[in-house]
Amino acid sequence: MKREVTPRRTGAARPSLIRGLFGVVLVASVMNFLFVFLKCEDEVGGQLKKKLEQFSTKKSVHVAHQATGDGTNQKEVSKAKATIAYAVSVTGCAAASDNLVQGAAVLGHSVRLSSIENPSSGSKYNYHLIAFVHPQAKACSHLFEKLGYEVLIRETPINVSDIRNEVYRADIAKQSCCGEKEFIKLYSYTLTDYPVVVHLDLDSVVLKPFDDLFDSMIDGPSAPARKRIPVMPGSPMPDAVHAFFTRDYNMVNLGHKHPGMQGGFLVVKPNTEYFEEYRELILEGNFKAGAGWNGTYGGYFGAKQIQGLCSYFFDGVHPNTAVELNRCFYNQMGDNPRKSRKHDEKLMCLMAGKNVKTAE
């Protein structure tokens, strides 16, 4: 595994995170992590269950120390610069089907391989796996515990009946897979025991360490890593970075100029004040049909949920506090981001040599 966090500036993109079933299958095959494709029997299933037990851990900050058994990993972990929380959200037991539980296994293993517990990764950071589980999914939460995730049972952070906008109040429960329950992702901001939280959807695989992102958020303006991070044009690096994200350009309806943040990949600094601000924005419900949050941030899938809310928060309420990453390197969605649908450079990777934008 290559040591550098930031891929080469020339040639094809080498993303740090890949999304979707194709990415999971591809990386799982490369890792020879074939057990995720075994047929499930009983809860997690026969041979798969035995494999899961190898990666199960006690609840502790350091996960999966049993990888070598010779003490090497523990020694490396003791030198970790910090422990990063990697969180996922589970909103219902239907969502904890065999495929997603297997996805959680692959994701957790890929996080370990991109941490200090795998010396060849070159990472300075340890990790801790966390699953935010809605009460409606409590019955299947043990499946994630078997995979080494610390399970935190969390209610939706707002009461839908308290939303003051009547139209938004009636609509939010009908949105996509999980309605208002998707907002449990916001509990990432409450994990104040960690300097940084990476929230990922369960169809994600981490290919390389995110050390440059972590260094930039923890060390501030003096971090050399800030100049190595590939960003989208027009996304400067503020002194204090509160979030890194990518946008979902393929989902934007024609006529809307504010693409939403891709809700399956969010890197944030815990901040309980931000958590309360998010809650208040939802309760205010300032979402206008056909236009979006504050009449501006909408026009795409998930606009009423995390993808639109986060866009409103960092583009409208707290501008110049978050950084949009180049999606050819981070959160590759399995599409062809090098090909523009329009003559708009924001829909392209801008890959070759000098065209790759890095933060100043």
- The model's pLDDT over 65-115, given as tens digits with 9 standing for 90+, comes to 333 334 456 666 779 999 999 999 999 887 557 778 899 999 999 999 999
At residue 49 the predicted structure's pLDDT band, cuts being 50, 70 and 90, is very low
Q: What is the mean pLDDT of the chain?
A: 77
For the cut 50, the answer to whether the pLDDT of residue 62 exceeds it is: no
Identify the helix (H) or strand (E) that includes residue 262: strand 261-268
Helical pair 98-113 and 21-30, crossing angle rounded to 10 deg: 50
Predicted confidence at residue 250, as pLDDT, reads 76
pLDDT in tens, 146-172: 999 999 999 999 999 999 989 888 888
Angle at 168 between CA 167 and CA 169, to 5 degrees: 90
Predicted confidence at residue 55, as pLDDT, reads 46
Give the number of residues written for the chain.
Answer: 360
Identify the helix (H) or strand (E) that includes residue 324: strand 322-324
Predicted confidence at residue 360, as pLDDT, reads 52
Range 173-187 average pLDDT:
87
At residue 139 the predicted structure's pLDDT band, cuts being 50, 70 and 90, is very high
* CB neighbour list of residue 174: distance below 8 Å, 6 or more residues apart: none
Range 113-135 average pLDDT:
97
pLDDT in tens, 249-260: 877 776 667 788
Predicted confidence at residue 65, as pLDDT, reads 34
What is the residue whose two structure tokens read 């957790």? 108
Range 230-246 average pLDDT:
92
Helical pair 98-113 and 46-55, crossing angle rounded to 10 deg: 30
Among 93-97, 227-231, 273-277, 353-357, the range scoring the smallest mean pLDDT is 353-357
What Rg, from alpha-carbon coordinates, does the chain have? 20
Q: What is the pTM of this model?
A: 0.80
Q: Give the count of alpha carbons within 13 A of 254, CB side only.
A: 2
Higher pLDDT: 235 or 33? It is 235
